[in-house]
Amino acid sequence: QKEVEQDPGPLSVPEGAIVSLNCTYSNSAFQYFMWYRQYSRKGPELLMYTYSSGNKEDGRFTAQVDKSSKYISLFIRDSQPSDSATYLCAMDSGSARQLTFGSGTQLTVLP
């Protein structure tokens, strides 16, 4: 079993839809959670960073963490074609000081 499981998609939605991206994890030591967006042939861009259970909102993006269920989500409201990219969840236990990534979800927002 992988430490982090992420639905690879691909996921295709119409413009304006709400998108839900999810990851589950098995290592209860993970304390820090990140979502990255990666466009084709570019490096990942940090979108959201959180370290506590609950919701964190930044513009159209909301990151949700449920440590009791070992489940994290990223919601994108009013999705735009420019949101079309691969989204990676990533986690850190703190002691390892390196990230464990999900496999990535490829999202396409259709105009």
Partner 1 sequence: GAVVSQHPSWVICKSGTSVKIECRSLDFQATTMFWYRQFPKQSLMLMATSNEGSKATYEQGVEKDKFLINHASLTLSTLTVTSAHPEDSSFYICSAREETYEQYFGPGTRLTVT
Q: Closer to partner 1 at the Cβ: 45 or 78?
A: 45
Dihedral of the alpha carbons of 93, 62, 75, 66, in degrees to the nearest 10: 40
Count interface residues toward partner 1 (CB under 8 A): 23
Minimum distance from residue 20 beta carbon to partner 1 (Å): 20
Helix (H, G, I), strand (E, B) or coil at 81: helix
Phi, psi of 10 (to 5 degrees): -75, 155
**Contact letters (x/-) for partner 1, 84-103, by CB under 8 A?**
----x-x-x-x--xxx-xxx
Does 61 bind partner 1 (CB under 8 A)? Our answer is no
Residue type, 104: G
